[in-house]
Structure 1
Amino acid sequence: MTHTRTLRVDRIACTGRGLCAELLPELVDLDEWGYPVLLRTTVPARLRGHARRAVAACPVLALRTDRG
C-alpha cells in the first residue's frame, strides 16, 4: 500500500534561503521576501525522491514530509 506524503514548512525555523524552491519547483515557490510558499502540500509519487532531497538539503531543517 502506498502512503500519501504531505509537505510542510516550519515558518519559524525557515530563514528564507530558497533552496527548497530550487530543488522542488513543482511544489515550492518563493514569496517576495524569499520565503517558501507551498503550491501543493500533497507530494505526488513521482516527486517523492525530489522531496526527500529537498528536505535533506534544508540547512535549518524547516522543510519536512509527513506520512498521511
Structure 2
Amino acid sequence: MKIAIDEDRCRGHGVCCTLCPEVFDLNDDGYSEVLTPEVPAEFEQTVRVAIAQCPERAIGEA
C-alpha cells in the first residue's frame, strides 16, 4: 500500500499522527507528512483508519 497527503487539503489536525506515528508526522510548518510512503504491512489497517478519520480527507492511496 502506498499513500500520499494532499498538501492543499491538509490543515494540520494531526489525527493521522496520533493514530499512526510510525507512518505520519507533523512537519516544521505543522502539517502532516508521510514518513513511509510504502506502508509496512503491519500498519496498513491503522493507516486505513487514519485515512477514514482525516477531517479534511487529505490522505489517500497513491
Normalised TM-score (structure 1): 0.83
Question: Root-mean-square deviation (CA), in Å?
Answer: 1.0
Give the fraction of aligned pairs with identical amino acids, expressed as a percent: 35
Map of 2:36 onto structure 1: 40
Larger radius of gyration: 1
Map of 2:21 onto structure 1: 25
How far 1:33 sits from its partner (Å)? Answer: 2.8
Q: Which whole-Å CA distance do the structure 2 matches of 1:37 and 1:51 have between them?
A: 13
Equivalent position SS for 2:25: strand
Query: Which consecutive residues of structure 1, in runs of 5 or more, have no partner in the other structure?
Result: none
Higher strand fraction (1 or 2): 1
Q: Which whole-Å CA distance do the structure 2 matches of 1:24 and 1:65 have between them?
A: 15
Kindly tell me the number of residue pairs found equivalent between the two proteins: 62
Equivalent position SS for 1:33: coil
Structure 1 segments (4+ residues) deviating >2 Å: none
Of residues 45, 48, 53, the one that matches 1:52 is 48
**CA displacement, residues 12-67 of structure 1 (integer Å, 9 cap, x when unaligned):** 0111111111111001111133201211100111111001000000001001123x
Q: Name the aligned partner's letter for residue 24 of structure 1.
A: C
